[in-house]
Amino acid sequence: MARRGLPRWASGIKQVVEPQQGFDPYSIVDATDPSLEYYVQVDVSGVDIGTLLPALDSNTTNDFGEIDAFALNVTSGYDVSSQQLGIIRGYTVQTSYTSTSYEVEVEVLDYNDGAGVNGTISLQGLITEATNELAILGGSGSFRGVTGYDIVTYVNASSSTILVYHHALYFL
């Protein structure tokens, strides 16, 4: 039986939190033990990111329609010299006319820990300037058929040109 006022598909939700001032949508996520964790190193001075298509209208605040491709190093730790676990490849599409940045991101993690866990994981979602959640849509190899979610958090800049993001993947 669906809860009153909620769509039928929401009847299986374990906890429903009413939106309120200061509401944190990640507070209802059972994020105690990630299935997989890694760090993404974004070298803003290198050739890791490139524009595929320019903005549809250069007069918009956020370059609406711009498409960027990327290939970024994935490491086991925060430091850029930590063990490399693979590469994350994909693209983003700028989807906001306003000063608030919204991008649709589609990416594939090519993962190999050197100890027998290797394969790919497909992820996609809406990226903002805050903590983000991406959907895990499937995988191959050690990750064949996996689904779930990825919590992406900006950690810090490890240097003047390297931005570091922590990814915590939760397989369902």
CA proximity to 129, closest of 88, 163, 89? 163
Q: Is residue 100 part of a domain?
A: yes
| pLDDT for 14 | 35
pLDDT band at 17 (very low <50, low <70, confident <90, very high): very low
pLDDT 10s digits, 50-98: 888 888 877 766 788 889 999 999 999 988 899 999 999 999 998 877 7
Q: Is residue 7 part of a domain?
A: no
Q: Is residue 11 part of a domain?
A: no
Q: Is residue 127 part of a domain?
A: yes
Q: Is residue 107 part of a domain?
A: yes
| pLDDT for 84 | 96
pLDDT 10s digits, 124-138: 999 887 789 999 999
pLDDT band at 8 (very low <50, low <70, confident <90, very high): very low
The CATH number that applies at residue 102 is 2.40.480.10
Largest Cα separation within the chain, whole Å, is 54
pLDDT 10s digits, 90-128: 999 988 777 777 889 999 999 999 999 999 999 999 988
Measured between alpha carbons, how far is residue 156 from residues 31, 80, 102, 146, 160 in Å? 21, 12, 20, 29, 10
Q: Is residue 65 part of a domain?
A: yes
Total domain count, the chain: 1
Task: Let me know if 37 is exposed, middle or buried by CB neighbors in 10 A (0-12, 13-18, 19+).
Answer: middle
Q: Where are the beta strands (DSSP E) in the chain?
A: 36-43, 49-53, 67-75, 84-94, 103-112, 118-127, 132-141, 148-157, 162-171
The residue among 121 and 45 whose pLDDT is bigger is 121
pTM here is 0.77
Measure the CA–CA gap between 108 and 128, rounded to whole angstroms. 19
CA proximity to 107, closest of 27, 29, 165? 165
User: Alpha helix locations (H) across the chain?
Assistant: none
Which residue range forms the structural domain that includes residue 132? 33-171
The residue among 87 and 19 whose pLDDT is bigger is 87
CA proximity to 40, closest of 163, 169, 170, 171? 163
Report whether pLDDT(161) > 50. Answer: yes
Q: Is residue 26 part of a domain?
A: no
| pLDDT for 129 | 77
List Cβ<8 Å contacts ≥24 apart for 64-70.
64/94, 64/95, 64/96, 64/97, 65/93, 65/94, 66/93, 66/94, 67/91, 67/92, 67/93, 67/94, 68/92, 68/94, 70/42, 70/107
The residue among 9 and 37 whose pLDDT is bigger is 37
Q: Is residue 143 part of a domain?
A: yes
| pLDDT for 31 | 56
The residue among 25 and 31 whose pLDDT is bigger is 31
* Contact partners, residue 140, CB within 8 Å, separation at least 6: 119, 120
Average pLDDT in the 21-43 region?
Answer: 70
